[in-house]
Amino acid sequence: MEKKNIDWSNLGFGYIKTDKRFVSNFKDGAWDDGVMTEDDKVVISECAGVLQYAQTIFEGLKAYTTEDGRIVCFRPDLNASRMADSAKRLEMPVFPEDRFVDAVIQTVKANEGFVPPYGSGATLYVRPYMFGSNPVIGVKPADEYQFRIFTTPVGPYFKGGAKPITIKISDFDRAAPHGTGHIKAGLNYAMSLHAIVTAHQEGYDENMYLDAGTRTKVEETGGANFLFITKDGKVVTPKSSSILPSITRRSLMYVAKEYLGLETEEREVYLDELSDFAECGLCGTAAVISPVGKIVDHGKEICFASGMEQMGETTKKLYDTLTGIQMGRLDAPEGWIREIK
Ligand code: PLP
Ligand code: COI
């Protein structure tokens, strides 16, 4: 398929309508076969469960053009299983995991012309999502659902790409203990909007949320997990039952250990130990690894030795190795790369 005429290297993280999307409906207890359609409009009841009680979940993954010109997706099976976990927590039907992966592949294939070329710095972002579609007025789960997947070509999530960002310790909480922080529910993002608008108004790029129970431990940002590098080169990531289990973070911890021979640790990370770390980064599908240069705790600045100009040395190694695997420059662990044929 011929590539679309897009200025790939100057894309930000925005929405561009692509040609095709996948749609499947759940009714009378079963999912239909699903179709690929050009229709980007969703028509639902004014009283749909998603509109009244926010019964909606989503996923995010990317398709890449490799160095040798293949189109691949990164670990879509993990998005499928996380979406199943999200669905169960919000009393929604699970879209079968094998069908999820198949639909992702079909949707990327149908929009091949929008997959950015190798070396452009852009990728095709894939957004699977599901919502309650029939009228619900008493507080209860919907009976009917729609599962959709659209794609959009994207550039870096943070303006400036690899330039370190500044983070604010938020006064707002993202997720409660025993709440929904560990699933990818739209409601987690709705409640973060006021916090992120406030942080942006104050000149920060992102928020660091703390654990709501004690406000002493690091959780995550609105859209990425944290990674820290100790002064002796260990990779540390916060452990918490109320953060999203990032596929990028899980992959990076494996890469750190198995490809780079670094020591890794998933453990509780306390706010008052932040100044002991040498490097800090945000990791996620959209963020990839975005370096953090500074964290501000109510006026008190915590500056990492890696500075505000470039990625720290270990963060850069992790970035190069992960993107090397995703773009086919390095051999991937078994099952990590799904080729779109
Ligand atoms: N944390 C939150 C709140 C997110 O929205 C995301 C994005 O998906 C992540 C972490 C990173 O997860 P992943 O690496 O699976 O994209
Ligand atoms: C992703 O990284 O895929 C996400 O869903 C994060 C979102 C904030 C864009």
**pLDDT band at residue 162 under the 50/70/90 scheme:** confident
Q: Cα(183) to centroid of ligand 2, in Å? A: 12
Residues recognised as catalytic: 184
List the domains of the chain with CATH numbers.
8-154 (3.30.470.10), 165-326 (3.20.10.10)
Query: Which segments of the chain does DSSP mark as H helices, in order?
Result: 49-53, 76-89, 97-110, 186-190, 193-201, 247-258, 313-326
Q: Which pLDDT does position 253 carry in this prediction?
A: 98
The residues lining ligand 1, judged by C-beta closer than 6 Å to any ligand atom, are 60, 220, 223-225, 244, 246-249, 284-285
Provide the pLDDT confidence category of residue 160 given band limits of 50, 70 and 90: confident
**Number of other residues whose CB lies within 10 A of the CB of residue 213:** 13
- The pTM for the full model equals 0.97
Q: What is the pLDDT of residues 200-210, one digit of tens each?
A: 999 999 999 99
Mutate which of 285, 289, 290 for ligand 2 pocket (most atoms within 8 A of beta carbon): 285
When computed from its CA atoms, the radius of gyration of the chain, rounded to whole angstroms, is 20
Reply yes or no on whether the pLDDT at 299 is more than 90: yes
Task: For ligand 1, pick from 218, 244, 252, 318 the residue to mutate: most ligand atoms within 8 Å of CB.
Answer: 244
Distance 28 CA to ligand 2 centre (A): 32
- Taking the centre of ligand 1 as the mean of its atom positions, its distance from the CA of residue 9, in whole angstroms, is 24
**Confidence tier at 324 by pLDDT (50, 70, 90):** very high
pLDDT tens readout for residues 34-80: 999 999 999 999 999 999 999 999 999 999 999 999 999 999 999 99
Q: Which of 182, 100, 79 is nearest to 147 (CA)?
A: 100
